[in-house]
Amino acid sequence: MTEITSTEISKYIEMRLNDDMSNASVNRELSILKRILTLANQRNPPLIEHVPKISKLKERNVRKGFFEHDEFIKFRKFLPEYVQGLATFGYKTGWRFGEIISLTWSQVDKVNWCVRLHAGETKNDESRIIYLDEELIDVFKKQLKLMKDAALITSYVFPSREGGKINNFKRSWNTAIKKSGIPRRIFHDLRRTAVRNMIRAGVPEVVAMRISGHKTRSVFDRYNIVNETDLKIAADKQENYLLSSLGTNSGTMIIIEAKRKYLTP
C-alpha cells in the first residue's frame, strides 16, 4: 500500500483506458481505491501516512460509438468463426457481454426459438425473453453444428474454442477492426447500435428496453444515439408533412410534383 503513489495511480488509469474501460467505470474503481486508502490511513496506528491525491476523470454520459450496418457486415467477416455468431447476437439484441457469454442451451427454447433469462441472471435482476429472428435462428443452428463438428461437449451457446466460457477475444476483435478498415469500435458499441436500430425500425421504446435489458429510461436514452443522418431524415419528414398538409388541390400537387422532379437525380 505504501507504494501506491499519484504517479502509479496515473499509470493505472492509463492502462484501464487502454483496456476500453469507460471513464465512469474507471472512476468507480478509483472510488474503491480511495476508500481503501482512507481506511488504512485511519487505522490506529495508521497503515499508511497519507492518502495520495486521486483525481477523477470527466464522465461523458452520452456515448457515441455505434456500427452502421455495412460496417458491421464488413467487420464481422474478419472475426474468428467461433465469435461471429456471438457478435451477431449482440448486434441484434443489445445484450451485455457478460449475459451473452454466460448464455446456456438450457435457456434456449429450440421449438419456439426464443431465449429466456430468469430474474437473478441479468444485471437488473429482471427476467427477460426474446424471440429470435431468422438470422439469429440460423446463428444458433450453426452454433450447434460447430459444436458437433468439433465434438465439443459444452452447455454454452457461444463457447470458446476449447468449449469453456469465453473470457475475452480482444486481440481478435482489434485485428478485425484493423483489417476491415472501419473506425475503432468496442464490444459495447454493439449494445448502443442495437438500441438505435430497433428505434429506427419502429420498435416501441418499451419493447426495445425489454429486449436490451435497460431498466431505466435515462440510461436507455443515452444509448438511443442520433446522428446527422437521423437529423436529415427528421427534416425531410417535417417538410413532407408540411407540404402534404397544404391540401390536395391541383396547385399543391403541382408544387409537390415539381419539388420531386427537382430533387430526382
pLDDT bin (cut points 50, 70, 90) of residue 143 is very high
Q: Do 166 and 91 share a domain, yes or no? A: yes
Residue 117 in 3-state DSSP?
strand
| Contact between residue 176 and residue 75 where contact means Cβ atoms under 8 Å apart | yes
| Contact between residue 94 and residue 136 where contact means Cβ atoms under 8 Å apart | no
Q: Do 100 and 122 share a domain, yes or no? A: yes
Q: Match 478498415 to its residue by C-alpha cell.
A: 181
| pTM (2 d.p.) | 0.62
Q: Do 202 and 147 share a domain, yes or no? A: yes
Instruction: Report how far apart the first and last C-alpha atoms of the chain are (Å, whole number).
Output: 69
Q: Do 218 and 233 share a domain, yes or no? A: no
pLDDT bin (cut points 50, 70, 90) of residue 142 is very high
Q: Is the peptide bond before 45 cis (omega within 30 degrees of 0)?
A: yes
| Number of domains into which the chain is organized | 3
Q: Match 437521423 to its residue by C-alpha cell.
A: 230
What's residue 50's pLDDT?
A: 82
- Reading the block at residue 147, the C-alpha cell is 459444436
DSSP state of 246: T
- Reading the block at residue 96, the C-alpha cell is 451485455
Q: Do 177 and 247 share a domain, yes or no? A: no
Q: Do 104 and 185 share a domain, yes or no? A: yes
- Span of 57-71, 142-156, 165-179, 242-256 with lowest mean pLDDT: 242-256
What's residue 219's pLDDT?
A: 52
Q: Do 256 and 138 share a domain, yes or no? A: no
| Contact between residue 88 and residue 187 where contact means Cβ atoms under 8 Å apart | no
Q: Match 464481422 to its residue by C-alpha cell.
A: 76
Q: Do 85 and 216 share a domain, yes or no? A: yes
Domain that holds residue 211: 69-223
Last residue of a domain, one of 38, 60, 82: 60
| 37 vs 33: CA distance, rounded Å | 6
CA diameter of the chain: 91
More confident residue, 35 or 256: 35
| 159 vs 104: CA distance, rounded Å | 9
Q: Do 197 and 109 share a domain, yes or no? A: yes
Could you report the per-residue pLDDT of 214-225, keeping only the tens digit for each?
Answer: 665 555 555 555
| Contact between residue 97 and residue 90 where contact means Cβ atoms under 8 Å apart | yes
What's residue 258's pLDDT?
A: 53
Q: Do 185 and 81 share a domain, yes or no? A: yes
What's residue 6's pLDDT?
A: 84
Is residue 76 scored above 60 in pLDDT? yes
Highest mean pLDDT: which range of 24-38, 49-63, 132-146: 132-146
DSSP state of 156: B
**Distance of alpha carbon 109 from the chain centroid:** 24
Could you report the per-residue pLDDT of 210-251, keeping only the tens digit for each?
Answer: 787 766 555 555 555 555 566 666 677 667 767 776 654 545
pLDDT bin (cut points 50, 70, 90) of residue 103 is very high
CATH number of the domain to which 135 belongs: 1.10.443.10
Q: Do 46 and 81 share a domain, yes or no? A: no
| 209 vs 215: CA distance, rounded Å | 7
| 157 vs 165: CA distance, rounded Å | 9
Mean pLDDT confidence for 115-140: 79
Percentage of the chain beyond pLDDT 90 is 34
| Contact between residue 52 and residue 6 where contact means Cβ atoms under 8 Å apart | yes
Q: Do 127 and 184 share a domain, yes or no? A: yes
pLDDT bin (cut points 50, 70, 90) of residue 12 is confident
